Amino acid sequence: MKINMKKFADWFDDRLALTPIFKYMTHKEVPQHEHSIWYYTGSSILLFLFIQIITGIMLALYYQPTLEGATSSIERIMTELPLGWLVRSVHSWTATFMIAFVMIHLLAIWFTKSYRKPREATWMTGMMLLVVSMMFGFTGYLLPWDDLSLAATKVGTNIPAAIPVVGKWVTQFLRGGDDVTGDTLTRFFIFHVCLMPLIIFAVLAVHILLVQKEGMSVPLKDELAKKKVPSLPFWPNFVLREVVIWLLLFGILLTISLAFAPSLGPTADLMAPAPEGVKPEWYFLFLFQTLKIFPANMGPVTGEFVAVLIIVITVVIIFFLPFIDNKPETKKGKVFTYLGVIGVVYAIVFSIWSLL
């Protein structure tokens, strides 16, 4: 029997009406200029998210989110299951790559000022995605339930408690009680594999839709000069270049995962003293160091409260940056570029300081 593929495709198109989307893809143009390289960071993040979904589902088939089962089930994944150690290693390293690329993506947009009108909402959904990505990292860090991850989670979940009125509530919500217990582990697992994937998909859908709606931004000076920037068709030219970068990144990722697989510490003991050298994941180091330098008490409030307040205000300012930096071509716009540089230097210096 000969299957008429055309008829088959037509039947689907009649029901789903997808042709406009394909048409859009083939007509979409990607501008080419000296900053075009940063366009690839977005699709690289999608690649990492895809790897996280695949490896995450694989790990979840064997992982047990309980006090008794957590560490031993990871031990089993790493020692008994074929290539299990590599699956865990890739999942752990992809988290690092993904967050690094989210940060690069954000900084590229910061310095090219691509968040300017009409892309404010794209920036704000992007900030949400950064926070969700970091929360993925934070909740995932506890799941091995070894001594370091327990101490890091105790500290991390106690930080909101410094905020008056609602803080205690947030801490109890995160921990499933006043203290970090087996309930916290189960809860973090559900956040990590159920709640946050739902959130990231919803926000990401809006983010990508907005990128398609507004098109790619062109450099500020070209926009002001109303210059016509040369462009490349999205399909197939740009996608081909993206695929090359994906394969390259995947190769690097796999090489690093093979060479530096994460270890597994002794099972966490709720009664044991905190181990020496408690450190969060690298992307929280500068916040960790910031908390450390504040004195115990600052007048009527604790130093921790002041530190948390400064961090929260900074995040809120960055979230609303497109509205604050609303004249990017003026002197005011330059100030925000320099603030971005200062922020990067601060994060790097404080991260290195925390490791000394």
Partner 1 sequence: MRLDNPYFTRRKFLNSLLGGWLGAVAASFISPIVKFVWPPYKEPDEVKLVFADYSGMQPGEVKNFVWGVKPGLLKRAQDGSFIAMVGVCTHLDCNVQWMPDKKQFFCACHDGWYDENGTNIAGPPPKPLRRLETSVEGEDLFVRKPGVGATT
In the complex, the residues that contact partner 1 under the rule CB under 8 A are: 151, 154-155, 157-159, 169, 172-173, 176-181, 183, 270-278, 291-292, 294-297, 302-304
Q: Per-residue b/e over 49-73, b at no fewer than 16 CB within 10 Å?
A: bebbeebbebbeeebbbebeebbeb
Nearest distance from C-beta of residue 292 to partner 1, angstroms: 5
Do 135 and 98 form a contact (C-beta atoms < 8 A)?
Answer: no
Do 219 and 35 form a contact (C-beta atoms < 8 A)?
Answer: yes
Length of the chain equals 356
Q: For residues 294 and 319, which CB has a smaller minimum distance to partner 1 in the complex? A: 294
Nearest distance from C-beta of residue 229 to partner 1, angstroms: 47
Q: What is the dihedral of CA 238, 244, 249, 250, to 10 degrees?
A: 120
Nearest distance from C-beta of residue 262 to partner 1, angstroms: 21
Q: For residues 10 and 68, which CB has a smaller minimum distance to partner 1 in the complex? A: 68
Nearest distance from C-beta of residue 291 to partner 1, angstroms: 7
Do 130 and 106 form a contact (C-beta atoms < 8 A)?
Answer: yes
CA angle (151, 253, 246) in 5-degree steps? 130
Do 123 and 322 form a contact (C-beta atoms < 8 A)?
Answer: yes
Nearest distance from C-beta of residue 311 to partner 1, angstroms: 14
Q: What one-character DSSP code corresponds to residue 81? A: S
Q: For residues 230 and 300, which CB has a smaller minimum distance to partner 1 in the complex? A: 300
Q: For residues 67 and 339, which CB has a smaller minimum distance to partner 1 in the complex? A: 67
Nearest distance from C-beta of residue 312 to partner 1, angstroms: 16
Q: Which two tokens stand for residue 211?
A: 């990128």
Do 290 and 350 form a contact (C-beta atoms < 8 A)?
Answer: yes
Q: Which two tokens stand for residue 73?
A: 């089930």
Q: For residues 82 and 277, which CB has a smaller minimum distance to partner 1 in the complex? A: 277
- Exposed/middle/buried for residue 16 (C-beta within 10 Å: 0-12, 13-18, 19+): exposed
Neighbours of 228 (CB within 10 A): 9
Report CA-CA distances (Å) from 313 to 241, 309, 310: 39, 6, 5
Nearest distance from C-beta of residue 184 to partner 1, angstroms: 10
Q: For residues 64 and 172, which CB has a smaller minimum distance to partner 1 in the complex? A: 172
Q: For residues 109 and 142, which CB has a smaller minimum distance to partner 1 in the complex? A: 142
Nearest distance from C-beta of residue 346 to partner 1, angstroms: 19
Q: For residues 113 and 187, which CB has a smaller minimum distance to partner 1 in the complex? A: 187
